[in-house]
Structure 1
């Protein structure tokens, strides 16, 4: 605080000292005999020197005052600027009740500036940390940090909260993307295993970071799209190979059935034939659709195809015997079913394709079996009628035998048979009528004549 009384005393002392010194100087000048003009000149010089000393001191004091004022103004400006950057409300100016010197004012504001600087630095560190995390996550997700900068002009808590909220959104986005990446990588690994492809090379070609199980993974849209596209491409390859394997499996089954392949040989390809009707998701075994495995199945099919020709010829001849047996049992004429085509000579000549012959004979066998089924009732009646005819012939011979009653111990058995024969012979007219009726009904239903060993049924039956 400025002390006016102390300064007055100092000025009084200075005036007294100067007056005493001037008096002493005048005394000396008198003793020396200094002229008045010279005295006036010397006094003027002394006055000018005093004025110059005061002027320099005033200039220096004014400069110090200006420096203090400027420093205080800069400090106040810096404080307000920091408050603005930190998003704080400006301090309202209030008239100070106690007037203080500039030096005291300056001494009081310097700690306040330092305090605000420290506060700004702490806030800046928080921003640097959050922005650094934002840039890192943004780079992982979008491949760049564009738009994530810190210019330092706004370090408010509002801006920090917004950045932290954005960081949380990006971290959630990153978590979702990482899950998508992991799911797709796992799916790609599975399908590569099924197709027998090099998973590591495939994943490396999409993005090298995906090949490192421990390192950071590229989470950009481009990588996710590439993963999805590669999975889709390999699924199409998988479906194509599945279709090819189905065809091979069906061919295997046909060849096995055709050639009565032993079950031991068939079991070697159970994993193929069991997948004929499998859906895409059900085929997940490693290398199940690899080209090596498919080639292995193709080789087996090729091997069986080579054996098929000779085996088919054997089957045609075997089925010809089956056809002959059915025709013999059902009294059908084999030539009616072009049996000549299935002869050993016809098959061996190679004029007809063995597979075509096999299909034809299977068709003929099916036709014969169907006709045999429809003829069963008639054939049963024919058999009974023929048996009755045989008994009738035997009975006629028996009646012509004059010694029929002298057969000794077996005579009673012969008599018993004769009695049964007479009963059966008496039924012949009814048998013939029933047989004719059944035959006519059969012919009417099918629109063809009924033949028995190549002869129209009514002729031998009615004769």
Structure 2
């Protein structure tokens, strides 16, 4: 048995070396994956630890010392830190853009809401109070309703209000004409009661004619409704 190398200590040493080599390979593979994610040069990264790590076949010798394992471990920690930093940076940018988008959408919703209120005001229509600016902002902030859904809702209300305004236009025109004629008739009544009305100037007489026409209009309008 003299000269044989198959002693228990040799088996143990080979086992330890095999385990260490596997650990080195695992570390190298992890470095490779992280470099791929981060867009870094894998060869340069492992060369910075030890040139023997950048080999192309299993037959080539790799340094598997404790210092190499520690160097690979440090590289992995550094790459993971860089990955986390980049992720956080992207997350912050995404959050910023999301807030900016929400702000712009709020402005657009408010603008459309103002358009709806103006149409309703001109046509004497009561707008939907659930779409008031303070309530729409709350809906957007809470996430209960998307800005796009709100816009679609308001656009639908605008279309409905425009159609209703168009159908009411003839009636509202008559109302405005009647109110104007009432003002003219009131002036005529006051004029007739004024003792000095016959000494008034030309401008007053022109208004008198207009007021007399207004009285005729008032008598006609009720039959038009």
Band the TM-score falls in, shorter-chain normalisation = 0.5 to 0.7
Q: 1:126 and 2:23 equivalent? A: yes
For 2:74, the equivalent position in structure 1 comes to 165
Could you say if the C-alpha distance between residues 156 and 176 of structure 1 is closer, same or farther in structure 2, counting changes exceeding 3 Å?
Answer: same
Higher relative contact order, chain-length normalized (CA < 8 Å, sep 6+): 2
Cα 1:124–1:322 change in 2 (3 A) is farther
Matches for 1:152-231 after TM superposition, within 5 Å: 152-177=61-86
In the TM superposition, residue 161 of structure 1 has moved relative to its aligned partner by: 1.4
Secondary structure of the corresponding residue to residue 252 of structure 1: helix
Counterpart of 2:101 (choices 220, 225, 235) is: 235
Q: What is the aligned partner in structure 1 of residue 172 from structure 2?
A: 312
Q: Distance in 2 between matches of 1:163 and 1:178?
A: 22
Compared CA separation, residues 176 and 108, structure 1 to 2 (3 A): closer
Q: 1:314 to 1:288 in 2, by over 3 A?
A: farther
Q: Aligned pair in 2 of structure 1 residues 177, 270: CA closer, same or farther (>3 Å)?
A: farther
- Count of aligned positions: 191
Report if the CA contact (8 A) 1:258-1:312 is conserved: no
Deviations 1:3-59 (A, max 9, x none): xxxxxxxxxxxxxxxxxxxxxxxxxxxxxxxxxxxxxxxxxxxxxxxxxxxxxxxxx
Shift of 1:320: 1.0
Q: Which residue, out of 318, 331, 335, partners 2:207?
A: 335
Considering only aligned residues, what root-mean-square deviation do their CA atoms show, in Å?
5.0
Q: Is the 8 A contact 1:137 1:170 kept in 2?
A: yes
Cα separation, 2, equivalents of 1:270 and 1:288 = 17
What SS does structure 1 have at the residue aligned with 2:148?
Answer: coil
Equivalent runs, 1:52-451 vs 2, <5 Å: 106=3, 116-139=13-36, 141-142=37-38, 146-147=42-43, 150=53, 151=55, 152-177=61-86, 235=101, 239=104, 242-243=107-108, 245-261=109-125, 263=126, 266=127, 269-274=128-133, 282=141, 284-290=143-149, 292-321=152-181, 323-324=183-184, 327=187, 335=207, 344=217
* Larger of the two Rg values belongs to structure: 1
Distance 2:215 2:65 in 1: 101
C-alpha contact (below 8 Å) 1:249/1:276 kept by paired residues: no
The question of whether the paired residues in 1 share the 8 Å contact of 2:181 and 2:217 is answered with no
Report if aligned partners of 1:316, 1:342 keep a CA contact under 8 Å in 2.
Answer: no
Q: Deviations over 1:419-461 (max 9, x none)?
A: xxxxxxxxxxxxxxxxxxxxxxxxxxxxxxxxxxxxxxxxxxx
CA shift for structure 1 position 284: 4.6
Give yes or no for contact 2:113–2:154 (8 Å, CA) kept in 1. no
Q: Kindly provide the CA deviation profile for residues 186-238 of structure 1, in whole angstroms up to 9, marking residues without a partner as x.
A: x6xxxxxxxxxxxxxxxxxxxxxxxxxxxxxxxxxxxxxxxx7xx69x939x8
Match of 1:196 in 2: none
C-alpha spacing 1:111/1:277, structure 2 compared with 1 (3 Å) = closer
Conserved 8 A contact 1:123-1:155: yes
Contact 1:248 1:301 in 2 (8 A): no
**Contact 2:27/2:73 (<8 A) preserved:** yes
Unaligned runs of 5+ in 2: 47-52, 56-60, 195-203
Cα separation, 1, equivalents of 2:64 and 2:215: 100
The alpha-carbon distance between structure 1 residues 303 and 129, as it changes in their structure 2 partners (threshold 3 A), is same
